Amino acid sequence: MNLISPEPTPYDPLEWERLPHAEKVRLACQAWCVQGYGTPLAIYLVYALKVALYVGAWAFFCSFTPGLGDPRSVASWWAEPVAFQKAILWSMLFEGLGLGCGSGPLTGRYAPPVGGFLYFLRPGTTKLPLVPGLPIVGGHRRTWLDVALYLAHAVFLVRVLVAPEITPALLLPTVILLPALGLCDKTLFLAARAEHYGMTALCFLFPGWLAGSQIVQAALWFWAGVSKLNHHFPAVVAIMTSNSPILRFGRIRRRMYRAYPDDVRPSTLAVAMAHAGTSLELGVPIILLASGGGTATVVGLVLMVALHGFITSNVPMGVPIEWNVMVVYGAFFLFGANAGVDLSAIDPLLAAALVVGVIAVPAVGNVAPRLVSFLLAMRYYAGNWAYSIWLFRGEAHRRLDERLVKSSAWPIDQLARFYDRGTAVGLVGKVVAFRAMHLQGRAIQLLLPKAVDRVEDYEYLDGELVAGVVLGWNFGEGHLHDEQLLAAVQAQCDFDEGELRCILIESQPIHRQAQRWRIHDARTGLIDEGEVRIDELRALQPWAVGEGDPPPGDPVVDRVSDSC
């Protein structure tokens, strides 16, 4: 074993590959409970170095302002307004380049470890326009105009970052170009984290920008807490803890589940931890907005550090590590160093924009999630996302290689550059487990028989990985691999009927105990649709219970339990 070798699965992946689908899911889920993704520790070191480079680059850009940027005196300048402004704008550029969320092997991106600018600067790549068919910008393939707008946005950001001070005149092109990018390609708008960095940059155009920025930051926590007022989040806590590089103890990980290995629904402990996390996300913004300094502010900041410290230490799939660093820094700057800001000082025009961006849009996203990205709705890591499963019959997925300009190779082919086939199969199998173990993922077992006659005849791939290959970016946003991406892929690949089927499952609205689903064939369109009740999903294990499943005590299952 070398430094980049993942933890071996407690079963032979090549034998696993030949099993019935339900058995494969069972084994992969039971392995996830005690192994997580099995990521080698060296990979976590790479992510830590990337965070250090992110922070170092921020200091470098701050150094263009006299008196700022020297790491040796950071205590004297970190709370300067221009330092915070440059942190926000650098984070927008960092994410827009594809270097932050959705990068590296923990998001199924192995070679290359990023898509982003490597893909967005290439004409002919696939994109998702906001209004398909709109003249000039509404096509499904990137044009030179798309490339030019993306490049201009990056250049204008760099121009602001190297300026001694940030003025509205310097910032205005960035604020204008970001929605223009979203019109051309929704992926770019979401990748730049417009709901956070875009809204905060908009605040910078107004005199009362500190108060406006406080509102944006508080909204991130508040809506994240609201999004967890359901039954999904306990599964997230269990799954995340099982993947933690810190809590690598089998006994602790097994306690996250009711009765490992036979019942892997969240335990009472996982439910309690989920409730504690939800309470923190709802309580922190209330405390920090209401306190205005003093002991209450200190308490709020301590609770905030505990919240983001736990998230970051678990290195969640999707790796929003730099975003968490920015949120913590933003909290200390906005609510610590500037605790006494008067919220009534917000400009009326900015106030109207904030009502739309951080109140109305998230509210709609919780009530009608199909209409709004989970990022714009600020429903972060709640386990209640839109997602999809793509089923390619036989070797039909090879048509993507022949017809598309892709961001990267098929996931197994990426892994083949580093590992033998067994290891590669084992890693991709863990992605199957990750999705199935979430509460909403249990719907897959109910919908697979509706989508195809025999799933073993199909190459099964999570839509997140498809988006990573085809769009150049993926970060848990199921609306990036729904009917629009399917139509764009079909227009270029021309699959025959039955060669590509997609199961699309929407988020649960906050006021209903059900989730909508659709099943599409790439050529013929909608096959079936309906909804599944949440209480039905709560009663299920991640795997189907059927004739082909090994019962509890089967030797192949015991190998998973005994090896951990």
Task: Please write the tens of the pLDDT for every residue from 446-476.
Answer: 999 999 999 999 999 999 999 999 999 999 9
Q: Is residue 336 part of a domain?
A: no
Q: Is residue 18 part of a domain?
A: yes
Dump pLDDT digits (tens) for 259-269. Answer: 999 999 999 99
Q: Which two tokens stand for residue 435?
A: 């999705």
Mean pLDDT of the chain: 93
What pLDDT was estimated at residue 41?
84
Question: In this predicted model, which residue has the larger pLDDT, 178 or 554?
Answer: 178
Q: Is residue 396 part of a domain?
A: yes
Q: Which two tokens stand for residue 184?
A: 């051309």
Cis peptide before 261 (omega within 30 of 0): yes
> Which residues have C-beta within 8 Å of that of residue 454, sequence separation ≥ 6?
none
Rounded Cα distance between 78 and 337, Å, is 10
Dump pLDDT digits (tens) for 395-426. Answer: 999 999 999 999 999 999 999 999 999 999 99
439 HSE (CA, 13 A, CB side): 30
Q: Which two tokens stand for residue 333?
A: 């700057």
What pLDDT was estimated at residue 496?
98
Rounded Cα distance between 314 and 256, Å, is 14
Stretch among 34-48, 155-169, 209-223, 446-460 having the lowest mean pLDDT: 34-48
Q: One-letter amino acid identity for 523?
A: R
What pLDDT was estimated at residue 210?
97
Stretch among 116-130, 132-146, 185-199, 547-561 having the lowest mean pLDDT: 547-561
What pLDDT was estimated at residue 548?
37
What pLDDT was estimated at residue 549?
40
Strand partners, 126: 141
Closest CA to 156 of 385, 148, 507, 106: 148
pTM metric for this prediction? 0.94
3-class DSSP state of 105: helix
Overall average pLDDT of the 498-524 stretch: 97
Neighbours of 369 (CB within 10 A): 25
H helical segments located in 337-440: 348-354, 361-367, 398-403, 411-415, 421-437
Q: Is residue 335 part of a domain?
A: no
Stretch among 81-95, 334-348, 548-562 having the lowest mean pLDDT: 548-562
Q: Is residue 90 part of a domain?
A: no
Radius of gyration of the chain (CA): 23
Closest CA to 472 of 120, 50, 112: 120
Q: Is residue 209 part of a domain?
A: no
Closest CA to 448 of 395, 517, 539, 370: 517
198 — phi, psi (to 5°)? -65, -45
What's the pLDDT band for 108 if we cut at 50, 70, 90? confident
Q: Is residue 154 part of a domain?
A: no
What pLDDT was estimated at residue 521?
98
What Cα–Cα distance (Å) separates residue 234 from each residue in 95, 129, 240?
A: 28, 35, 10
Neighbours of 558 (CB within 10 A): 14
What pLDDT was estimated at residue 2?
57
Q: Which two tokens stand for residue 62?
A: 């701050």
3-state helix, strand, coil in the chain (%, to 5): 55, 10, 35
Overall average pLDDT of the 181-204 stretch: 98
Q: For the chain, what is the domain count? A: 1
390 — phi, psi (to 5°)? -105, 130
Rounded Cα distance between 326 and 69, Å, is 17
Q: Is residue 494 part of a domain?
A: yes
Burial of 94 (0-12, 13-18, 19+ CB in 10 A): buried
Instruction: Residue 471: give the domain boundaries.
Output: 13-39+384-562
Rounded Cα distance between 431 and 372, Å, is 25
Q: Which two tokens stand for residue 100?
A: 């932050």
